[in-house]
């Protein structure tokens, strides 16, 4: 397998950055508590791992959306990441996505890599692969795939942020929008499983 590219800053046509977004606002009912508070067996917070994967993959800035247990979760967010809190977190992932895109609208980012907090095994190399394929073009839509099955991360160009925020509802995220708009599929199954963790 050829080596993956290193992670220099990724810019769009005008040098605008590729941002990162971690969705970590939910209550984690099936999980037994907010996943923003979860830690791996070594004691590293999942939210820290997600921010690290995005940063190491070339994303800057990185926004983390919190909701349930936000006071405790905010203490686990690495220094330098932008924390935004949604009071509507109980509505589902759609509220988190809207809050994150709203925060990103105040940055210079031209595209964003979106990951849920419950994929602690996400490697930075998967982020780099998507970034290498699509860059930070404001019109881009792309998704990782695992043996043909869509999964995180996804890349959403700035041109889509307003329409996507209006389209999402309840606990359904960006997937229907990406499918309807022909998002580019980037196979990453050779890098990791793409699986989230819904149970402890």
What's the DSSP call for residue 45? B
- CA dist 188 and 152 (Å) reads 10
Element (H, E) at 24: strand 18-24
Does residue 8 carry a pLDDT above 50?
no
Q: How far apart are the first and last CA of the chain?
A: 33
pLDDT value for 77: 98
Residue-wise pLDDT tens digits, 47-87: 999 999 999 999 999 999 999 999 999 999 999 999 999 99
pLDDT value for 197: 84
pLDDT value for 182: 96
DSSP line for 164-186: HHHH-BTTB-SHHHHHHTTPEEE
Does residue 25 carry a pLDDT above 90?
yes
149-157 and 111-116 beta bridge pairing: antiparallel
ω into 136 cis (within 30 of 0): no
Give the pLDDT band of residue 135 (cuts 50, 70, 90): confident
Q: Please, are residues 196 and 118 in contact by the beta-carbon 8 Å criterion?
A: yes
- CA dist 121 and 194 (Å) reads 8
Burial class of residue 52, CB neighbours in 10 A (0-12, 13-18, 19+) = middle
pLDDT value for 180: 97
Q: What is the mean pLDDT of residues 31-39?
A: 93
Give the pLDDT band of residue 3 (cuts 50, 70, 90): very low
Residue 86's closest CA among 163, 25, 28? 25
- CA dist 60 and 80 (Å) reads 10
- CA dist 64 and 176 (Å) reads 22
**Average pLDDT value over all residues in the chain:** 90
Does residue 11 carry a pLDDT above 90?
no
Mean pLDDT check: name the lowest of 97-106, 167-176, 177-186: 167-176
């Amino acid at each position: 397998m050829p080596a993956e590219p290193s992670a220099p800053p990724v810019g769009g046509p005008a040098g605008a950055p590729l941002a990162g977004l971690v969705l970590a606002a939910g209550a984690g009912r099936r999980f037994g508590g907010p996943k923003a508070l979860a830690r791996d067996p070594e004691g590293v917070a999942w939210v820290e791992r997600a921010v690290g994967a995005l940063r190491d993959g070339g994303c800057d800035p990185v926004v983390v959306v919190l909701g349930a247990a936000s006071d405790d979760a905010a203490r686990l967010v690495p220094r330098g990441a932008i924390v935004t809190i949604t009071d509507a977190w109980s509505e589902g992932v759609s509220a988190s996505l809207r809050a994150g895109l709203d925060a990103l609208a105040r940055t210079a980012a031209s595209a964003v890599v979106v990951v849920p907090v419950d994929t602690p095994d996400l490697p930075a190399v998967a982020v780099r692969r998507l970034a290498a394929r699509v860059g930070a073009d404001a019109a881009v839509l792309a998704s990782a795939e695992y043996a043909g099955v869509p999964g995180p991360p996804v890349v959403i160009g700035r041109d889509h942020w307003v329409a996507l925020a209006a389209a999402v509802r309840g606990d359904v995220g960006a997937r229907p929008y990406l499918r309807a708009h022909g998002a580019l599929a980037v196979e990453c199954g050779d890098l990791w499983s793409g699986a989230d963790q819904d149970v402890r």
